[in-house]
Amino acid sequence: MQTTLIILKPDAVQRGLMGSIIERFERKGLRIIGAKLIKVSPELAGKHYAEHKGKPFYEGLVKFVTSSPVLVLAIRGLEAVAVCRKLIGATNGRNAEPGTIRGDFGLSGGFNLVHGSDSPASAERELALWFTADELHEDAHTIEQWVYDPGDLK
């Protein structure tokens, strides 16, 4: 099992898409183990996007993510990082496949609705930035017996 970070960005929040997006993850069988609606500080945005510092789009990215509240989620499931990335779709909504979040709801490359960790290592680093240990609730849910074949969990 993996836990990954998902951020519903200001455009998703302002467009009233939070429920529709969360539903995609839950319908897949993934479990939300942490959630909070926050206004991102420039300091936190800088830490989160540190690898992009100095790139031409960095300032705009920080300005965008701090412009309005975001919904931050910790999502858990088997291969959660890869599964969530597939559900999210290509970065630019115009190029994203129909059926993905960005493919169904997005038309922009910059206003692309959702951030998802791109690797297990990134997920670990990002989750530590956005959540404290006591904000994550990993209690077992009975639904998992209906989501995963017992052979999947070996």
Asked about 52 being catalytic, the answer comes back as no
Which residue out of 48, 52, 115, 141 is catalytically annotated?
115
Angle, helix 80-88 to helix 120-130, in steps of 10 degrees: 90
Dihedrals φ, ψ of 114, to 5°? -140, 140
Cβ neighbours of residue 100 closer than 8 Å, sequence gap 6 or more: 86, 87, 88, 89, 90
Active-site positions?
115
